[in-house]
């Protein structure tokens, strides 16, 4: 039958209304939201279901919101009897993967990602850094272009999402120059992203330093379900290395394409995107269209997913 992986979305997947239908139908989902609310000190359910969008889109609110929605859905899947063989998450989604794998409890993760969002926001002053998605250009060309334009503004790869899609981050001046250079080099599109900082680049060092301090007081459990990290695109062998990897993660490129390929090599042939949006499902299909991919973000998509993967319920 092959293995099944749960994938968890990162920032950018959020939308007003996410999780609402599940919240109405399942007491377990309401419990997860209540746990998060106690930790955060504000009404997360109202923010997720009614907005305002401007607040939901602020990193320190986005991160706990996405984590909570994903873990609430995991609880539903547990009740159904659906358990992954492997987990992974894109950027923030890696924290959902870690909770799912048993390494960190949910309430600890919620408190941590709220701080992570704040630290990432504060690491670079507004207007100094930015990011852009480069479509239709090979990763090797993107890397070479980053070096070429560096004299006019520092830029580096930030996300290797799938073939033909690399996100870069860096100084605003460098991003503008890079986008023009990328188009000249044959990129189909170069799209500046609406983010406040160059996430997953060396400019996020201050956030990494603050996260490292936070991890000093956090204890990690054993890895019960294997998970693949963004930092290396490989399985994490032991829980002792997780703090170091999560600290590095905010200032290191996200090796998403490599992570998916690694899981496929390991026998994963079914990917389940758990949480808001369908972005990761799209990436997986571009990496390997022979695998099965479903996304679960509301009751109707859960129903459709179970038609595909229902035979895996134990």
Contact criterion met (CB below 8 Å) for 3 and 268: yes
Contact criterion met (CB below 8 Å) for 68 and 110: yes
Which of 114, 11, 89, 99 lies closest to 57, judged by CA?
11
Catalytic residues: 91, 200
Per-residue H/E/C for the chain: CCEEEEEECCCCCCCCCCCHHHHHHCHHHHHHHHHHHHHHCCCHHHHHHHCCHHHHCCHHHHHHHHHHHHHHHHHHHHHHCCCCCEEEECCCHHHHHHHHCCCCCHHHHHHHHHHHHHHHHHHCCCCCEEEEEEECCCHHHHHHHHHHHHHHCCEEEEEEEECCEEEEEEEHHHHHHHHHHHHHCCCCEEEECCCCCCCCCHHHHHHHHHHHHHHCCCCCCCCCCCEECCCCCCECCCHHHHHHHHHHHCCCCECHHHHHHHHHHCCEEEEEEECCCCHHHHHHHHHCCCCEEEEECCHHHHHHHHHHHHHHCC
CA dihedral (61, 223, 238, 139) in degrees, to 10, reads: -50
Buried b (16+ CB within 10 A) or exposed e, 285-311: eebbeebebbbbbbeebbeebbeebee
């Amino acid at each position: 039958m092959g293995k099944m992986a749960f994938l968890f979305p990162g920032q950018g997947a959020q939308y007003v209304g996410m999780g609402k239908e599940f919240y109405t139908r399942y007491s377990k989902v309401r419990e997860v939201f209540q746990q998060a609310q106690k930790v955060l000190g504000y009404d997360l359910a109202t923010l997720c279901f009614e907005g305002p969008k401007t607040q939901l889109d602020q990193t320190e609110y986005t991160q706990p919101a996405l984590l909570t929605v994903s873990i609430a859905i995991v609880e539903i899947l547990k009740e159904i009897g659906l358990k992954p063989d492997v987990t992974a998450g894109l950027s923030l989604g890696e924290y959902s993967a870690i909770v799912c794998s048993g390494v960190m409890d949910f309430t600890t993760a919620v408190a941590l990602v709220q701080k992570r969002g704040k630290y990432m926001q504060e690491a670079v002053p507004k207007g100094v850094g930015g990011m852009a998605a480069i479509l239709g250009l090979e990763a090797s060309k993107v890397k070479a272009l980053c070096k070429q334009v560096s004299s006019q503004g520092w830029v580096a790869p930030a996300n290797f999402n799938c073939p033909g899609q690399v996100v870069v981050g860096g100084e605003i001046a460098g991003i503008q120059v890079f986008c023009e250079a990328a188009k000249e080099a044959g990129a189909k599109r170069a799209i500046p992203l609406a983010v406040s900082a160059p996430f997953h680049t060396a400019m996020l060092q201050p956030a990494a330093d603050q996260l490292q301090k936070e991890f000093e007081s956090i204890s990690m459990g054993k890895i019960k379900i294997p998970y693949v990290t963004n930092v290396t695109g490989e399985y994490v062998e032991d829980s002792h290395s997780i703090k170091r990897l999560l600290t590095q993660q905010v200032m290191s490129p996200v090796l998403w394409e490599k992570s998916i390929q690694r899981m496929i090599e390991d026998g994963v042939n079914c990917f389940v995107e758990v949480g808001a949006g369908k972005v990761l499902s799209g990436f997986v299909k571009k990496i390997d269209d022979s695998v099965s991919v479903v996304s679960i973000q509301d009751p109707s998509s859960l129903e459709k997913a179970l038609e595909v993967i229902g035979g895996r319920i134990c």
